[in-house]
Each structure stands twice: as structure tokens, then as C-alpha cells.
Chain A
Amino acid sequence: MYGQVLPNQNGAPLRLVVPWKYGFKSIKSIVRIELTSTQPPTTWNLAASNEYGFYANVNPTVQHPRWSQASERRLPSSLFNGNRKIPTRMYNGYEEVASLYTGMNLRLNY
């Protein structure tokens, strides 16, 4: 990582890094990789399949069924400063991963 060899406690020899998603999703130590022919269900997808798809990327240009995703609030906030209206960035600002989704209709694959 960052050009250096990963020390063992950082999940060497192999870990997953998905910086445009919540930190806990960057799993520290891969113990098994399973290849399947069908798309597996995911947390958000299971919670509300009509609102959250497999990829669960927050897309500022595609509205969630009940609310706009164009802006976000950063937490922690304080009582009188709600950190309102920070424009949501595509892939949380990690434009370099856009290539992973090329050709996908992001309205259908959300």
C-alpha cells in the first residue's frame, strides 16, 4: 500500500481496498474467494431491493426513490452546525474507479 509492502497486521498477503465505500468494507484479510454464476444478495439490497441495488454506490445524479442524493451531511456534526449541503461526489470522489463501472447503466445498476 502506498508503494510499501503491507505489514502482516494490515492483512498481508492479500486484502481488499475499496476506498469509495465505508471503511469496514475494505476487508483486512481475504481468507476465501468464491466465484458464483448468480449475483449474490447484499445487505442494502436485502433491506430494500426497490431502493438499493447490488452495487450500492451513492450516485448524485440518480435519485433514490424517496429523496435526492445530490447532497450529503458530514458526521459528526454539531448542534448548530449541521454540515448541510456538501455536494455528493461520484464514487465519493474516487473518480479513478469509474473504469470499474464503464458501460453500466447506473440507473439500472445502482
Chain B
Amino acid sequence: MKSIVFAVCSIPLLVLGWDVANEIRLPGSAFGPDPAEAVVDLLGTWTIRFLLITLSISSFARTFKRPEMGSFRRTVGLWTFAYACLHFLGYFTLLAEYSFSAWLEDFSERTYITGGMVALMLLIPLAITSTRNWQRRLGPRWRSLHALIYPAALAGLLHILWAAKASLLDVSIYGFTLALLFAERIVVRIRRRQGKGVVNG
């Protein structure tokens, strides 16, 4: 089952690879007039989508009382990190054109790039400590460390918001989804404190 989840997460990347192949074969055919931007944008879009999917796995597992779903969270979470890395690498190779000075310039001159780098940095320790080994080594502190996903998600949203030129629709949808996922967690914590649900009757 986990391999199915893994395979499904790879689909956007495979489709992208196919489009890239077509673009190389026939320049201008697959991504419109700005292929570099389109590719980087697509990778970024799937990063935030997979991040939200990752967060929703716990919500679903709790809501539908299926704790076994939680095992997919790491798979999807690591795919989120993979897309985030590819998104940055795409930016560095295609838009910054391998120039460190260009990257530094963007980092200081474009607030959305600053936000994006922060989000990526926050994901790195989560990816490194994603294994069961690390879970054992860190014990209860593992949970606290992995709470970094929340500032990472917020930094990601700010990155998208600050980069928005025309439409705020996408970032609004992502923001609304994140708000729902936060709300679910807050409700769970409140109910836990109250002694989850009064006995029927």
C-alpha cells in the first residue's frame, strides 16, 4: 500500500518529465513562452499541495479513526520535501542560471525568495529526522521538532503570497485549507483537555 502511495506521489513529477522531454524535442511546445518559470512554478505548486496533503493525513486518520493511515504521512512528507528541493533546484538552475551571486541578489531583493528559503530550511531537519531510527533517538522531542512543519507551511504560504502578481485565488485556497487543518488540530486539543467527549447519555 505504501508503494502505491509512493507511486501516486511521483505522478506529477513523471508528467513534468514527459513535458520537459517534449519541450526539449520541440522548444516552446510544452510550457508556453516562459518554460523556465512554468517548470519552477509547477514544482512549487506540487510542493504546497503535498505539504497540505501530508498535514491532512493526520486529520483524516483522527477523524475517521484509522490510525494505520498515519504510516503514509512519512511517504507523502518526504515527497513534499523532494518537490521542495526540486523547486529550489529548478529555480537555481533555470532562473538563477547557476549563479550564486544571482541567488544572493534575489534572496536580498525579493522578499518572496527570502520566505521560500526559510520554508525550505525548516523542512530540512524534518526530512533528516523522518526515519524510525531518529524517532527512537529523539523520543518525545521528535514531536516537538516536527512541529516545525507549521512555520514551514506558513513560510511557504507567505512565499506564494509575496510572489503573487495577478491572482490571489490559489494562495487563498491553500491558506483556507491550512486554516481548516489548523482548526482540526485545535479542536482535537481542546477536546483532549476536556476529556475527549462525554460518555453517551
Contacts and interface: CB of A to CB of B under 8 A. Distances in A.
Contacts of B34: 73, 75-77
B169 to A, nearest CB: 14
Interface stretch (A15-23, A27-35, A61-69, A92-100): A61-69
B123 interface: no
B110 A67 contact: yes
Interface stretch (B2-10, B20-28, B54-62, B77-85): B20-28
A79 interface: yes
B135 interface: no
Contacts of B111: 66-67
A66 to B, nearest CB: 5
Given A76-B34, A79-B20, A79-B35, A84 B96 contact: yes
Contacts of B119: none
A77 B36 contact: yes
Contacts of A67: 109-112
Nearest to B35: A79
B94 interface: yes
A66 B97 contact: no
A79 B39 contact: yes
A76 B30 CA distance: 13
Nearest to B109: A68
> Is chain B's binding surface mostly helix, strand, loop or mixed?
helix
Interface residues of B, number: 25
Contact of B33 (A63, A70, A75): A75
Given A66-B111, A68-B109, A79 B31 contact: yes
B104 interface: no
B84 to A, nearest CB: 20
Given A63-B109, A67-B109, A82 B95 contact: yes
Nearest to B162: A66
Contacts of B94: 79-80, 82
Contacts of A63: 109
A84 B27 contact: no
Contacts of B105: 68
Interface in A25-80: 47, 63, 66-68, 70, 73, 75-80
Given A76-B33, A77-B34, A84 B112 contact: no
B102 interface: yes
A100 B161 CA distance: 35
Given A76-B34, A79-B36, 8 more contacts: A66-B110, A66-B162, A67-B111, A77-B34, A77-B35, A77-B36, A80-B36, A82-B95
14 contacts: A47-B166, A66-B111, A68-B105, A68-B110, A75-B34, A76-B28, A79-B20, A79-B31, A79-B36, A79-B94, A82-B37, A84-B95, A84-B96, A84-B99
